[in-house]
Amino acid sequence: MKVIIAAAGTAGHINPGLAIANKIKQEEKDSKIIFIGTTRGLENDLVPRAGYELKTIDAYGFSKKISIENFKKIYKTYKGFGQAKKIMQEFKPDIVIGTGGYICGATITAAHQMNIPTMIHESNSFPGIAVKMLAKKTSTILVSFEDAIPRIKKAKRIVYTGTPVKIKKVEYGINEKNKILKEMGLQEIKPIVLISGGSQGAQKINEAILEIIKNKQNKNYQMIWATGPKQFDIMKENLENSNININNIDGVKVMPYIYNMEETMNIADVMIGRAGAMTVTEISNLGKPSILVPLPNVSHNHQYYNAKVLEKVGAAKIILNEELTGEKLNKAIEEIVLEPSKMKKMGENALKVSTKDVEEKIYQEIKKILKKD
């Protein structure tokens, strides 16, 4: 099988693409897979690191405003369409798979014009413009959330599969959990709240956590706080101005980035973070109660709709970015951790929207498309 995967920009687009590639390789070792991306996104690090070849083209997202800059982006993306076509002529793929984002526009359109079967995986509950525009051209659209299905019109075929993620549910014994907590300077006796605003951190969430720490409000729970690499020194300086040593806060472990995220998420009792599709999927698969602060100013407010998937089944509390304060966040945390039965129920509710065997479902859909052609 020869496959091109178009994935660009953020880890939320690239990691699902890598998971699909790994599954194909696992099932068909002789498969040849290349990625198409841009020169600007995380694909330039993540794709080669995973052992796959990356080809780059010009591709940009457009704004609705009329401007010289927007016309330049349209021109460059049209140029990218020709570049994608050339790559496909040389590689001769059996299928082209897009994992969301503006890169799909040029690649899926080029494949469609060349009569190459196509597939798109949409991670968000509220599909992006590119996916909606390509719906009629694409052989199959895979979605992470059932809520996305009625939001995609005129699609030939839509299948609910879920999002492929690396983090899996692990049941740790008491001794194993205590060992992990001890290494972080934490104890088993109080609930663990994990705060992570994604790989880059989330300033508004970080500011709320600063407020909680300065006011010593975390008496009923402990925190593992990933600030994001770019914000760690800012948080450190801010705490130092209040005579607080970031490396010696009672009941709080602070770090720029969490490398053992699977282990950390599994020992946590409550999750706090943004509402990217991968985060929401991981939370549901692990069965964790959560407090979600959707990132504002993203297309179609899609993080809010992602968060609603968990909120409507009673698994999450949503706090809007502009309404977030340390006081409000602490109150939301305590409403969960001080009621063990509620905390347990929210975790059980999260599992209701979890997805299993995602990679296998996607692989079977690829096989179906190729069998038809």
- Identity of the amino acid at 196: S
CATH fold label, 2-163+356-372: Rossmann fold (3.40.50)
Evaluate if residue 373 carries a pLDDT over 70: no
The predicted pLDDT at position 63 comes to 53
Evaluate if residue 74 carries a pLDDT over 60: no
- Phi then psi for residue 290, to 5 deg, are -145, 160
Evaluate if residue 143 carries a pLDDT over 60: yes
The more confidently predicted of residues 46 and 59 is: 46
Long-range contacts formed by 133-137: CB under 8 A, 24+ apart: 133/105, 134/98, 134/104, 134/105, 134/108, 134/109, 137/108, 137/109, 137/112
Segment 82-139, tens digit of pLDDT: 999 999 999 999 999 999 777 888 899 999 999 999 999 998 888 877 788 888 889 9
The predicted pLDDT at position 355 comes to 87
Q: Which residues are 55's β-sheet partners?
A: 36
The predicted pLDDT at position 103 comes to 86
The predicted pLDDT at position 131 comes to 84
The predicted pLDDT at position 232 comes to 94
The predicted pLDDT at position 60 comes to 59
CATH class of 174-351: alpha beta
Give the Cα separation of 12 and 229 in Å (integer). 18
Output the CA angle 196-17-261, nearest 5 degrees. 25
**Best CA proximity match to 293, nearest among 309, 267, 315, 275:** 275
Mean per-residue pLDDT for 211-219?
A: 95
Give the residue range(s) of CATH 3.40.50.2000 domains in the chain: 2-163+356-372, 174-351
Segment 229-270, tens digit of pLDDT: 889 999 999 999 999 999 999 999 999 988 888 999 999 999
CB 233 within 8 A of CB 257: no
Q: Give the CA distances from residue 24 to residues 1, 17, 68, 87, 254, in Å, rounded to whole numbers and listed in that order.
A: 8, 11, 42, 20, 38
Segment 343-355, tens digit of pLDDT: 999 999 999 999 8
Mean per-residue pLDDT for 143-161?
A: 91
Segment 17-42, tens digit of pLDDT: 999 999 999 999 999 999 999 888 88
- Residues of the chain with pLDDT > 70, as a percent, come to 92
Instruction: Give the number of other Cβ atoms within 10 Å of residue 76's Cβ.
Output: 14
Question: Strands across the sheet with 222-226, in order?
Answer: 252-255, 222-226, 192-196, 270-273, 290-292, 316-318
The predicted pLDDT at position 58 comes to 80
Mean pLDDT across the chain: 90
Segment 291-328, tens digit of pLDDT: 999 999 777 788 999 999 999 999 999 999 999 999 99
The predicted pLDDT at position 340 comes to 96
